[in-house]
Structure 1
Amino acid sequence: MVGTTLLLGQTALAEDNVSVLMKQRLADMAGKEGTVITVDYAPGAASDLHFHPGSVFAYVLEGAVISQLEGGEPMTYRKGQSWYESPKIPHVVSKNASKTEPAKLLVFLLSQESESLVMPMKSPGSAK
């Protein structure tokens, strides 16, 4: 892992369930970088309320995950499915859909260089 706590924020995603696979400056987009991570959810596990300053592309590698962005409905994504999250939209639900099986995401994040990828929140709507 590459400085997971600093990179991903202090509380939104637990350090032990996130692995940074790659981080790269984008040559054709000044000041931007791409980061690839995996997020492992134990059975019944969930992330705290958070938002991402940049764009997010998520793909389910294993199991099923329930995701809900502020203003939207909870969606269940299963192995092989993916979704996009616009920057700064609060992620009000992000959890393993199963209480007995693990789940794993492959996540591509686009951000400003050296910017935290995940920002914890105390309440929905505080990201804007």
Structure 2
Amino acid sequence: MFRLAIATVVPAVLALLGTGNAHAHTPGVQPGESEESVQPLMKQPIPEAAGKNVLLATVTFAPGQEPQPHIHPGSIFAYVLEGTVVSQLGGEPAKTYTRGQSWYEAPNARHLVTRNASQTKPARLLVFGIAGEGDPIKLPLPQ
């Protein structure tokens, strides 16, 4: 039932935000290019948590793209809209997620691997995040 709800809600949210099929697409990874394409959709303060914002964005990975390890200061919820993504959080084995699957990242979890599993097709996520006012959504992994 939960997957059915997500499958119904996600397209509706995207339609309401006016994204339709006009999403950012990175045509290929150039040498030295490792960061994914992020398309912000919404940022909204939430009264239930003073000083916090909810962020909604699509994240597109070019074929074979693997961004650098990182952390998110706030909670992150990721849902695969298209393609296949490999993700590994610190202390856990790498997991492969396909269209319609999702995962959660706790604040400051070490995100060691994020990779588009395909060498020929892009992958795209819908990301819902919670961040403090003025906090970045993503930081490089501390050394």
After TM superposition, the score normalised by the length of structure 2 is 0.74
The residue aligned with 1:105 is 125
Q: SS of 2:113's equivalent?
A: strand
User: How many residue pairs get matched?
Assistant: 110
Q: Which has the higher strand share?
A: 1
RMSD in angstroms over aligned alpha carbons? 1.3
What stretches of structure 1 move > 4 A for 4+ residues in a row?
none
**Unmatched 5+ residue regions in structure 1?**
1-12, 124-128
> 46, 64, 70: which is aligned to 2:66?
46
**Unmatched 5+ residue regions in structure 2?**
1-33
Shift of residue 114, structure 1, vs aligned partner: 1.1
RCO higher in structure (CA 8 A, sep ≥6): 1
Of all paired residues, the percent bearing the same amino acid is 48
The residue aligned with 1:72 is 92
Q: 1:27 to 1:64 in 2, by over 3 A?
A: same
After TM superposition, the score normalised by the length of structure 1 is 0.82
